[in-house]
A and B are shown apart, each in its own frame.
Chain A
Amino acid sequence: MTFSSYIKSWGVGIKSLATGMSISMMNFWRKPVTECYPENRHTLQMSDRFRAVLTMPHNANNEHKCTACGICQLSCPNDTIQVISKTEAAEDGKTKKVLDRHVYKLGQCTFCNLCVMTCPSGAIVFSQDFEQSVYTRSKLTLQLNQPGSVLEKKQA
């Protein structure tokens, strides 16, 4: 190390230290980004792409859009979804496959969104309701269609 480079290293060192200190001082005066969680429940802003639990939206007449095609079950990488269908007699005399139970195991889900992306009728979505902790594992097995719900009639 030559003498001139030694002198130079002093300058470089002091300059870089001053830069670091000024940056942390800038951060010191910023507003904290942390939120106090249980208190801010009512004003909580979740980010758009956050996925917490799979849900099947129902309209006011207790109707959903699931046709029980089973594509979500097929596309699920880890067997989280089980679509249980039943056959029913339709008005014109033919038999028709309808949804009996849409079983979703929250404890097994990796929230990959493949089921929602492949669903042809847009029957399932991920909600942002993240408060899903329960005391027993069996409670993590959910039925997504509400009892007594039927397939929504196509708009004529």
Chain B
Amino acid sequence: MNLELRTLMQLIDEGLRANLPKFWAVAIECLSVGLALLAGYAVLAMLLIYVERKVCAWFQVRIGPNRVGPFGIFQTVADTLKMLLKEVIPINHVDRFLFYTAPFVVIAASMLTFAALPFAKGIQAIDFNIGVFYIMAISSISILGILLAGWSSNNKFSMIGAMRSGAQMISYELSVGLSLLAIVMLSGTMQLSTLVEQQADLWFIFQGHVPAFIAFVIYLIAGHAETNRGPFDLPEAESELTAGFHTEYSGIHFGFFYLAEYLNMFIIAGIAATVFLGGWQPLHIPGLDGFNYVMDFIPSFIWFLAKVFFLIFLSLWVRWTFPRLRIDQLLHLEWKYLMPLSLLNILIMAVLVVMGWHF
């Protein structure tokens, strides 16, 4: 019995190729991959919103959503239906073109990053040889959407939120990049599929031990800041700026921002799992062959999702623990603490790789 998703994919592929001309088989496959990604995106977002609300409730010694369906599992489904049925309220004196484009920029950026994640063995829509680079580049487009949203709303709160967001994203992008660079140095590749393959015997966080662990922690902090959540939620800052950059949005446009926020959490955790925790590779310990053999029975997509949800739990833990930073504290943390440490960490990693002190 093979529980891998790849076997199902191969069955579909063979069936299509046997019954259709090559062009139509490829066209249908491309279309269905796109649809699957979109559907996965929406379902994961709903799941994440539910998980967030439940975990938040447990941290605050509450019960959380528990009325719609057993344990409230249909709460987000109901919320999504509500969001879809809501009116998009036209706002006077906005820059109409930019105002209506901004949510699509944000969601397209996060969608494109989501598509590049290797979800399971053989399940990856886009696999560039510069995968890490691509992910970094495309995920920073979403800041453009946030800036546009704040600017075009013609609202001081939105503008302040967007400006804070700009300062925050540009600063923390550096740490994200530098911490991923440490692993790229260790592995010698930027291709996500190769990165995952190289971790078959031992995950990079163990291969690179100290510097890899430091890079992992820096990546988690900086990535968390990139998602505009938790102690880094200055761009939204409910108590100061109503809702920051998305104050003026309603209906499905607000829904797009909401969806993108939660999916960015998944994407950051997904990249962290891929680069540091072995992606979809099972946990292997060199020497323990019996243990490794047993671990191979768990399907790869379960490994990936388990790692991602573990990292998401860490991010929720941080979010519901710490109070919001002030803008100067936010920049302090990046420029005086995380950035110097990541630079130092890269130096350590370089020495480690040159001397061959890694596993």
**A contacts with B, residue count (CB < 8 A):** 17
A21 touches B61 (CB 8 A): no
Cα A47 to Cα B61 with chains together (Å) = 20
A1 to chain B, nearest CB (A): 9
Contact A17 B322, CB 8 Å, known A30-B61, A34-B63: yes
B60 touches A27 (CB 8 A): yes
Against A, the Cβ 8 Å flags (1 = close, 0 = not) of B326-338 are 0000000000110
Against A, the Cβ 8 Å flags (1 = close, 0 = not) of B57-100 are 11111110010000000000000000000000000000000000
Residues of A within 8 A of B61 (CB): 27, 30-34
Cα A151 to Cα B66 with chains together (Å) = 50
B317 touches A24 (CB 8 A): yes
Interface residue? B353 (CB, 8 A) = no
Interface residue? A10 (CB, 8 A) = yes
CB nearest neighbor in B for A30: B61
Interface residue? B321 (CB, 8 A) = yes
Interface residue? A134 (CB, 8 A) = no
B337 to chain A, nearest CB (A): 7
B321 touches A20 (CB 8 A): yes
Residues of B within 8 A of A27 (CB): 59-61
Interface residue? A13 (CB, 8 A) = yes
B321 touches A24 (CB 8 A): yes
Please list 17 pairs of residues, one from A and one from B, whose beta carbons are closer than 8 Å in the complex, sorted by A's number: A6-B336, A10-B337, A13-B337, A20-B321, A21-B321, A23-B321, A24-B59, A24-B320, A24-B321, A27-B59, A27-B61, A28-B59, A28-B317, A32-B61, A32-B62, A34-B63, A36-B66
Cα A33 to Cα B63 with chains together (Å) = 8
- Interface residue from A6, A21, A31, A33 paired with B318 (Cβ < 8 Å): A21
Using a CB-CB cutoff of 8 Å, which residues 1-58 of chain A contact chain B?
6, 10, 13, 17, 20-21, 23-25, 27-28, 30-34, 36
CB nearest neighbor in A for B340: A6
CB nearest neighbor in B for A6: B336
Cα A32 to Cα B62 with chains together (Å) = 5
A21 touches B63 (CB 8 A): no
CB nearest neighbor in B for A25: B317
Using a CB-CB cutoff of 8 Å, which residues 4-53 of chain B contact chain A?
none
Cα A124 to Cα B90 with chains together (Å) = 57
Cα A24 to Cα B319 with chains together (Å) = 10
Cα A27 to Cα B57 with chains together (Å) = 10
Cα A30 to Cα B336 with chains together (Å) = 37
CB nearest neighbor in A for B321: A24
Cα A21 to Cα B313 with chains together (Å) = 12
Residues of A within 8 A of B57 (CB): 32
Residues of A within 8 A of B320 (CB): 24
Residues of A within 8 A of B62 (CB): 32-34
Please name the 10 residue pairs, one residue from A and one from B, whose CB atoms are nearest each other, closest first: A24-B321, A34-B63, A32-B63, A34-B62, A20-B321, A30-B61, A33-B61, A28-B59, A28-B58, A32-B62
CB nearest neighbor in B for A23: B321
Extra A-B contacts (4), CB below 8 Å, given A17-B322, A36-B63: A21-B318, A24-B320, A32-B62, A36-B66
Residues of A within 8 A of B63 (CB): 32, 34, 36
